[in-house]
Amino acid sequence: MSVTREDVLNVLKTVKDPVSGKDLVEAGLVRALTVDENGARFVMEIDPAKASVLETARAEAEAKLKGMGIEKVSVAMTAHSAAPKPPELKGTARPKPAGPEAIPGVARIIAVASGKGGVGKSTVSANLATALAAEGRKVGLLDADVYGPSQPRMLGVTGRPASPDNKTILPLRNHGVTMMSLGLMIQEDEAVVWRGPMLMGALQQMLFQVQWGALDVLIVDLPPGTGDVQMTLAQKTNLNGAIVVSTPQDIALLDARKGIDMFKKLNVPIFGLIENMSTHICSNCGHEEHIFGHGGVAKEAEKMGVPLLAEVPLHLDIRTASDGGAPIVVSQPDSPQAQVFRGIAKQLIADGRA
C-alpha cells in the first residue's frame, strides 16, 4: 500500500465531527493513527453520550479510507464511562480484591512502557520476549496495547484464542513465547468502544483468566502514556519492574520522564531505559547517522538514576522482521541488531529479573 499517514490525515480532515463542527483531526478525535502495509487504524476518543452521533463520522471516515484503496481499516471508538456490554471475552469478570494478586504460575512480571506512541515499545517487547525464550526462559507476552495491538502481527500469530470451558482462555504460542493480545479478542475492521471499566475488566481477564502455564517471566506490552492500564497493572498484580522505551527526541524523553515518575509513585522499580532508534544504520552501506540526535536517553537515565539498558539502532531489518511475523532476534539471531536485544535479555537474567 503506497498511501501515507499524511494522505490518511488529509482524508480524515474532510470528515466533519458533528459535535464540534470541526474536522476529525482538528477536533482532536484521531488518536494513535497507524498507517502501514497492513492498512490503517486509529482510535477516536469520544464522549460516550455522543457515541451514536459520532458513529456516522466513524463510518464516513472508514468508507473514505477504504475508498482510497486501503483494504483494512480499523477505527476503534474509546470512551470513559460505564459500559453496557463487555467485549467478546467469555467468562465471569471476577471482582478483584483491592491489593495486588499473584498470577498463578507466573514468577515475574515486567512491564514495557513508553510515554509516547510509536517509539518502538512493541518492537522491544517482541524482541525481548523472544530473546528471553532463546536463553531458555519460559516467557509469556501480554499485549495490553489497546490503542494499537501489534503483537499478533509481530509474533506472526493469527486466529482467535479458544475458551473451551467459557471461563479460562487458552493463549497462543509462537517462537517459544506464550502470547495473548487484546487484539486477538476483536475482529480486524471491527469498531470497538473501549470504555474505561470495560477495558480494565478485559485487562484483568487477560491477566488472571488466561492459562499462562508456568512462566519465568511475563512481559506486558503496555499502551503508551500513563493511564488506567498502567495503574491497574501496578495495583492488581505483583509487577516486578518496568522498562521504559524512548527515542532520543526531547519530546519523547519528556513523556518518558512522566512514565518513570508514575511508576515511581506506584512503587514499581524501573529496571531501566532503552533508547530505541538510537542511530540509523543504512541497510545498504552500513553508514551510521544520528537522525534523532544521540545520547539524550543516556543523559536522562543518569539524571534520573536509572540504568540505560541498551541503545537499539534504527534499522530496516528490525522493521521488516517484525512486520513479517518473526522478530529480528528469531529471523537473524546473529545480526548485531538482534545481539542488542539478546544482551538486554542476558542482563535481566543475570540480575535475577527474568
**13 annotated as belonging to a binding site for a ligand:** no
> Tell me, what amino acid is at 110?
I
**Secondary structure letter of residue 210 according to DSSP:** B
Exactly one of 17, 143, 145, 300 binds ligand ATP (CB under 6 A); that residue is: 145
DSSP-assigned letters across all residues of 264-327: HHTT--EEEEEEEEEEEE-TTT--EE-TT-SSHHHHHHHHHT--EEEEEEE-HHHHHHHHTTS-
The rounded distance, in Å, linking the Cα atoms of 189 and 76 is: 9
Considering the rule CB under 6 A, would residue 224 count as an interface residue with ligand ATP? yes
Residue 246, C-alpha cell as written in the block: 524512548
Q: Pick from 297, 312, 330, 338 the residue near ligand ATP by CB under 6 A.
A: 312
Side chain identity, residue 309: L
28 annotated to bind ligand: no
**Per CB under 6 A, 342 contacts ligand ATP:** no
By CB under 6 A, is residue 237 in contact with ligand ATP?
no
CB of 340 to ligand ATP, least distance (A): 9
Interacting residues with ligand ATP between 87 and 126 (CB under 6 A):
114, 117-123
Contact 321, 104 (CB under 8 A): no
Pairing between β-strand 73-79 and β-strand 139-143 as defined by DSSP bridges? unpaired
Closer to ligand ATP by Cβ: residue 192 or 314: 314
Nearest to ligand ATP by Cβ — which residue? 117
User: 97: which 3 cell numbers?
Assistant: 480484591
Helix residue ranges per DSSP H, 146-211: 151-154, 196-208
Nearer residue to ligand ATP within complex by CB, 209 or 322: 322
Element (H, E) at 73: strand 73-79
Nearer to ligand ATP, 58 or 121 (CB): 121
* Cell 464516513 found at: 60
Report the residue number, 5 or 265, with the smaller CB distance to ligand ATP.
5
Site for ligand ATP (CB under 6 A): which residue of 41, 108, 138, 315? 315
Site string for ligand ATP, 47-86 (x = CB under 6 A): ----------------------------------------
Binding mask 30-49 for ligand ATP (x = CB under 6 A): --x-----------------
272 labeled binding residue: no
Report how far apart, in Å, the C-alpha atoms of 263 and of each of 246, 266, 303, 318 are: 15, 5, 16, 28
- CA–CA separation, 34 and 3 (whole Å): 11
Task: List residues near ligand ATP by CB under 6 A.
Answer: 32, 114, 117-123, 145, 148, 150, 224, 276-277, 312, 314-315, 318-319, 322
Binding residues for ATP: 115-122
